[in-house]
Structure 1
Amino acid sequence: MSYASDALGHLPLDQIPGPLRAIARFTPSRRVRHAAAEIVSLLATDDDFRERIGELIAQASGELGKAVSAGAVPAAADPVEVAALTYLVRPEGWHDQLEALLADVRGRQGEVAHAGQADEVSRLREQLETARTQHRAEVEKLREQARSARKEAEEAQSRIRELTRAARAAQTEADKANAAASTERGRLAAARSEGDAEVRRLRARVAEVEDALRSARQATREERSVDEARLWLLLETINQASRGLQRELAINRPDTMPADAVASEQQLASGGAVGEPAVRGLNADDPAWLDQLLALPTAHLIVDGYNVTKTGFAQLSLERQRGRLISAMGVLAARTGAETTIVFDGNGVAAPTGPLPRRVRVLFSPAGVTADEVIRRLARAEPAGRPVIVVSSDREVAEGVRRAGGYVVTSALLVRRMSRS
């Protein structure tokens, strides 16, 4: 034990068994006190550890170690020390040598007077017996572990076989599921094909119905056109008859009505504009007069654009002036239902490309032609009997419109009407 405890401190850490590494840094006496049983057990069961300890002790013992390694037993050597070396080095025939040494030690026990030596021999004998017992126990333990390992291996193989059978069954089920899915996909494809055919049939039927509906609408329009043509012929016959009566009776439309002449004289006396007739007792500068004119059937309102904008909001840019006037005329046309035409001097300005309000028309005079000329052409183009209202403060425009049978409203009046809206 003392040999093994001394040699343990000289072994590298990686060559010391795990249970003894913690005590390797202790002194030899402390190793014996704290780990005697572990050292004895490892010497009996771990051949590599015992051989490394034996080599170190044989080298440290010098000639005695060499002699024991060679299988020779010096006669003068201490039999206890030789027995310990023999157990650790284990030369050839070490069992017989160790038995002989033990017999010699037992024979000398009566002669040995020193109690310490007898105790050491007895302790060595006990250690030897303990080592043998532990060796047999370790062998039995290893055999039991081997049997347990074989049993676990057999269980593992059985489990593997079960898992293999389960995997095969799962694969079979998966194949069946794939076959069923393939069948279902085929059924769905057939149903989709039938559905597509039904959709095409319904679309064809819808197309037939739409064609029939268009034909019915076309027939209705044709019948309506015939009815309208008949109505137009009736109205045209009445109109031609009335004109024939006018020609036969030599009745022409007067330039002014008696009330207009009186109103003109009154306006001249009060400094008003010439030829601005009063309507139903209203003044020519009253916005309500414009409302009454626009309430006439099929009235056409013609606006001198820049003449109105320069009167009402000359501080704005030309583009914003046009936009404000067009927007206001859209509101007025929506309320009165009158057709509205706004005329601007062209001067190279492109016509607006955006959407215009309903019933509102915007014209730009071509190069070399003034807006006044376009307005007079519009007034002359209207048929006799249609109410034409021109908004302009230009005297020449007003006189030309009146000669054509139209009404003239000043720009200031329209501006007041726009502000009231």
Structure 2
Amino acid sequence: MSRPLPEQVRLHVVDLAAQLLGSMPSSAVPAPLRGIARFDPRKRARLGGALIAAQLETDKEFREIVAEAITEGWPELVQSLAEGVVPPAADPVVVAAAAYLTRPPGWPEMVELAREELERSADTAQESAHEEVVRRLRDQLAAQKAQAKSDIERLREQLKAARAENADLRRKLHDARRRAKEAEAVAAEMTAAAEEAKAAVASATSAMETELRRTRERLAAAERQLEAARRAAREGRSIEDARVRLLLDALQDAAAGLRRELALPSTISRPADTVAAVSPDRPSVSGVPARALADDDPALLDQLLALPQLHLIIDGYNVTKTGYGTLTLADQRDRLMTGLGGLVAQTRVEVTCVFDGAELNGPVPVVAPRGVRVMFSAPGQIADDLIRQLVRAEPVGRAIAVVSSDREVADSVRRMGARPVPSSLLLRRLSRC
């Protein structure tokens, strides 16, 4: 047989063989099917169908055993097939299954006849189904046409009523527009009067606000002058005196350092010793000792801290967010203050730490260690501007270093004569304190 069994015939043959496996002695069951024979009867054909079909195809003895069972069930059918006669009223599936198992003369033709019969039955069923679908579609179309006709009649009635209602609404709209125009004329007169009154009030208010602002500015200027006078009187010197004093201290420390570097005697024993061979410039960050260092060189900050009268200005939040970004702002400030206290104790440099206070709603408690000046920017001012003001306030020539990784801040203070230092260098230096 060249063609496989029709699927319905194959399932029927496998089901017959699966039922027979349960009643066969274990010794008579083919070896490949012994495991399947122990299955539940409902599972044999479903789980072992492929093995059973293959065994029937290759094992003649097993097929003959199944053929005996079908002969006992349908003896007249098997006898007719053996005589080469196919009963006209017989089920094609049963005929093909019996022919395949008993193998009478011409059984392949019988299987093919059954296949053709099954295909014709399937085609007939499909055609009947198609006719039924067509019939239902025609019924639905007729119903939809009737419904559409009814909807059209209803819509015509609704359109007629809507037209009558529209005519009535048009009359009402005409009356409403006439009344609206009259109301708009009255409203325009009232609006004009209100605008005149508002303009007069605005003019008076603007004049009052301008005068009030000028008064406040004069009051603020007077308060600043009074505070400056009080500070000068309290400190006993002016701001310019403080700058000169600070510059003199820097020059004095530089001269002392030069004397130690050249191993000069502490007293001048000869007149020629009063003539300086070298007149050093005033100390500044441009004269970093030893070799020239890059901004990210770890030795840079140590050499800057060794300069006499160095003023170290720190961009507070730029440093803390670089090193302690996961902490709260309060914890960041406390940790930075602790490190700066140790740095001042070791180097004795002047340290000013600037924080951005423009967005603060009130004063911030900060415990500044001895020697550390803490400043917050005023409302409307950012910390970067306050840092630039601190640099401008220093006398020309004083050594100033600004710790910030903000490129804009670094570039601006460099143009003003200060030396920018990345925040990472200060964090590395604080870790050694």
TM-score, L = length of structure 1:
0.34
Greater Rg over alpha carbons, structure: 1
Name which structure has the greater RCO, CA cutoff 8 Å, separation 6+.
2
